[in-house]
Structure 1
Amino acid sequence: MSRLLALAMAAALASPSPATQTLPAADIQREVDLALAQRLREAGSSARIVAISGVRDQSLPAGRAKAEVGAIAGRWPRARAGVPVRLTVDGRAVRTVTAWVETTDVRRVLTYADAANARTAGDALRLAAGDVDMTCCDGSAVADADALRGQRLRRAVRAGAPVLPSDFEPMPDVAERQQVTIEVVRGPVRLTTIGTALADGHIGQTIAVRPDASDSAVVARVIDKKKVSLEE
């Protein structure tokens, strides 16, 4: 009898417990792929999922298992992002795992043909069409170079990077280090001279300028493009 009991116990230990189950990693990855592909379609995105990794087979209690795909934090689609997946059994949360999703979104867009410094005028940039994986960036690339007229770079850019609206800011009416006309009005007398702006300024703002004939700066009000009026 003791031998039969020992054999029965050994058989029970060798068999998987009916109280647990295994949820394969492939099933979790499939749910992530389906959910995120649907989100991309709904957003009208041209990005596509190329890989899902970081998930292992999961040992769960017995019951109806389900993988619920959560929201991705931050900008998405991007090249690589972690997506939380909540695992439930019979509607009860058991644990949350992270699946790593890689996406790509190669498009033909306008790019910078050369590196350029901040404050470069938009119409002075040399651009070229290029294939870029736009998961690198937030938003769409500039579609027409004409849109850059009256704009300047707000930051330095590298050659080959996509031309993004966020790279630009409006060109000021007077730019720092730009030569300007300084107007001085005293009663019926109107005089003009040339100087250098020491700061950016828009019409109506006051900025410091240095007349060419002086070593000292004066305060002047911007009244037109490349033109200021001396504050008396």
Structure 2
Amino acid sequence: MSFITSFCCRSSAVSWLPASLLFVGNIYAGSRALSRLDIPFFFTLQNSSHVVTYFITTALHREKHKTHQLKTISMGLMLLSAVNLPLWDPQVDRSAYLWAVCHLLCAGAYKAFEFHKSSNLSDCEQYCINCLFSVLVLALAAHPTGDLTGALEFPSLYSGVFHCGCGASALLGFLLLLVTVKLKRGLSSEHVGIWIFISKVTAMSLSPLVFTVNINTSSFVCVLMGLVGEALLVFSDRDSQLG
């Protein structure tokens, strides 16, 4: 019996590796983008990952997918805000936006994989596999003789800053996972979405107090448009559950 359980867990872990690869792309591209973008702009672009997830799930399950008008409007607003933001950014950084696009593509594909992939793994087990896989990939890429070191500008494997950053990221990510799991167990998905939305709005509002944020009227409208789109997405998910 223990052999069968071990084999099933091993099989589930192997089947989860594509998601782990997307997780690595998600965290690395997101870190590169966030290091060069203001937090309100980063969240506005990150919201477009919902659009990527929506398109993937619609393409894979077209016959089972029901389109709600409110959800379509929310997707349109989030996509429109993300597309127009680089045009109105007062100090646009092309490299930062390129990394942001890679981040939202990986994040959206990861959500679609997580939602439709039947797995016997718990959230904590999935996160542990993601962390182990990311440490392996990033450590190999950060090695001084690695081919990816120069291409992706990884820091040296022996950099203390690199080690501290990885450790802090893993610790904070695990704590965030525990909070998310606790929220999912104690609250409905609707309320979880509301709390995530509130946390993003709070982070955007407080970011100018900690960092220098260069924003003009046009880019501010793009940020607001993205927030409105995410708010409509939360309400559309609630309506679909009630329906």
TM-score bracket, shorter-length normalisation: under 0.3
Structure ranking higher on relative contact order (CA contacts 8 Å, 6+ apart): 2
Which has the higher Rg, Structure 1 or Structure 2? 1
User: What TM-score comes out, normalization by structure 1 length?
Assistant: 0.21
Going by fraction, where is helix more abundant, 1 or 2?
A: 2
Going by fraction, where is strand more abundant, 1 or 2?
A: 1
